Amino acid sequence: MKKTMTRLADGRELIYYDRADDAVRSAPDRRPLGAATSSSEVRVDRLLREEIGYAAHRQGRTFMPPADRCPLCPTVGDRLSEIPESSYEVAVFENRFPSFGDGTGRCEVVCFTSDHDSSFADLDEGGAALVLDAWTDRTAELLRHPGVRQVYCFENRGAEIGVTLAHPHGQIYGYPYVTPHTARALDSAAAHRAAGGGNLWDEVVAEEVADGRRIVLDGEHWVAFVPHAARWPYEVHLYPRRRVPDLTALDEDQRAEFPRLYLDLLRRFDRIFGPDAPPTPYVSGWHQAPLGDDPPLPREEFALHLELFTIRRGPGKLKYLAGSESGMRAFVSDVLPEAAAERLREVEGQ
C-alpha cells in the first residue's frame, strides 16, 4: 500500500491510498476555498450519563446533489470536487462539515472508489483489502490525536438510512468520549468478569458457534452470526476468532481472509429481499476498544467486531423506530434471529 498525504485548498488533510507503490498523486485543489471552520460542542445528559454532540454548521452541508456535481467523484476538467485527482482508489479527507472538531474529536470521509455508480459490494478483494488498510491506518493515527477517545469506522448506505451523498463512501469518527453503546458493553463485561466469568465477548462468540443456528458465514479466522438478541430485522456481527482490541492488532491471516467474507456478507444483504429488490440500505461499523485513564476493563479485553444491519424488514417495508424504540429504547423486532440467519445462508453472496 502507498499512502500519499496532501492538503485541500482550505487546509484540510487529504490522504490517498493506492495498491501500486509507484502511484503518483500530485494534483492541486483548484477551488477558491477559504480556511475551513467548524463549531461543535458536547453536553452531558446528567440523568442518562450520555454525551450529546452539537454541530449547528452541519445544517448547510451538501444534500443529495446530482451525479455530475458529486463532491466525492474525482475532479474532471472544470468540474472540481473534494478529490483533485482525475481518478483514485481510496481517498480519505477531513469532513468539511464535521460532527466533532476544534479539539472535540475529528471526523473524516472515506471514499471507497472513484466509481460513483458502484458500491462497497462491487469492489474486488484487493479493493476491499485496501479499504481495510485505510481504516487501520486512520485508526492508528486518530488514536494518537489529541482529544480522541474512541475511533469508529462506519458506512451508511441508502437514502432510507439518511445518507446525503450517493457516492460509495463511509466515515470515521474520532469521538472525544466513549460512546454509550461501548460504555454499556464494557460495564457488562466488567461485571461478568467480577462475578467470576471469563471474557464476555469470547463467551458470546463461543456460544453462537456451539449453537450454530444463527451462524451465517464460518471462516478460518472470522465468524459471522445473527446475535441471539438482534435488535434489527437483519443484523450480523462479524468477529475475528482470535480476539483483538482494534483494527491495528489484526494479524496477516485475519487481514487476508476479511475481504472475501465481508464482500460475501454485503452481497448476501443485497439479495435478502429477492433479485429484483433495490439495494439494501444498511449501516456497517467497526466497534473498537476506546482509550481511557480508568477503564472498567484492560483495553486488550475488548473484542474488535463489525456490526452490520438493515432497517428494511421486508420488500418495500422499513423498520421505523417509533414510540417504544425511540422513546424508551425498548426494541421489538419483526424477524426472529434464527429466521434471519437462515435467510442469509440461503441467498448467494458470491
pLDDT of 275 > 90? The answer is no
Contact 345, 216 (CB under 8 A): yes
Close Cβ partners of 172 (under 8 Å, ≥ 6 residues apart):
92, 107, 108, 109, 110, 135, 138, 139, 142, 151, 152, 153, 154
Range 181-346: architecture per CATH: 2-Layer Sandwich (3.30)
pLDDT of 63 > 70? The answer is no
For domain 2-28+60-175, give the fold: HIT family, subunit A (3.30.428)
In this prediction, residues 302-310 reach a mean pLDDT of 98
Q: How confident is the model at residue 15 (pLDDT cuts 50, 70, 90)?
A: very high
In this prediction, residues 161-171 reach a mean pLDDT of 94
- At residue 257, what are phi and psi to the nearest 5 degrees? -85, -25
Least Cα distance to 112 among 68, 166, 36, 174 occurs for 166
SS3 140: helix
In this prediction, residues 191-203 reach a mean pLDDT of 97
Alpha-carbon span 158 to 347, nearest angstrom: 21
- At residue 327, what are phi and psi to the nearest 5 degrees? -85, -35
Span 172-181, pLDDT tens digits: 999 999 999 9
> Is 153 annotated to bind ligand?
no
> Is 116 annotated to bind ligand?
yes
Q: Which residue intervals of the chain bear CATH 3.30.428.10?
A: 2-28+60-175, 181-346
Strands (DSSP E) contained in the chain are 2-7, 13-18, 41-45, 50-54, 90-94, 106-111, 150-157, 169-175, 215-218, 222-225, 234-240, 282-287, 305-310, 312-314, 317-318
Q: How confident is the model at residue 62 (pLDDT cuts 50, 70, 90)?
A: low
169 is an active site residue: yes
Higher pLDDT: 51 or 101? It is: 51
Span 238-258, pLDDT tens digits: 999 999 999 999 999 999 999
Burial class (CB in 10 A: 0-12, 13-18, 19+), 28: exposed
Q: Residue 106 pairs with which residues in a beta bridge?
A: 174
Q: How confident is the model at residue 70 (pLDDT cuts 50, 70, 90)?
A: very high
Count of CA atoms in the C-beta half-sphere (13 A) of 54: 6
- At residue 313, what are phi and psi to the nearest 5 degrees? -105, -10
Q: Choose, from 145, 169, 181, 192, the residue flagged as catalytic.
A: 169
Q: How confident is the model at residue 349 (pLDDT cuts 50, 70, 90)?
A: low
Span 108-125, pLDDT tens digits: 999 999 999 999 999 999
SS3 176: coil
Q: How confident is the model at residue 61 (pLDDT cuts 50, 70, 90)?
A: low
SS3 83: strand
Cell numbers linked to 80 = 472540481
In this prediction, residues 167-186 reach a mean pLDDT of 96
Contact 128, 136 (CB under 8 A): no
> Is 167 annotated to bind ligand?
yes
**pLDDT, the chain, mean:** 94
> Is 287 annotated to bind ligand?
no
Q: How confident is the model at residue 35 (pLDDT cuts 50, 70, 90)?
A: confident
pLDDT of 202 > 70? The answer is yes
**Stated pTM of the model:** 0.95
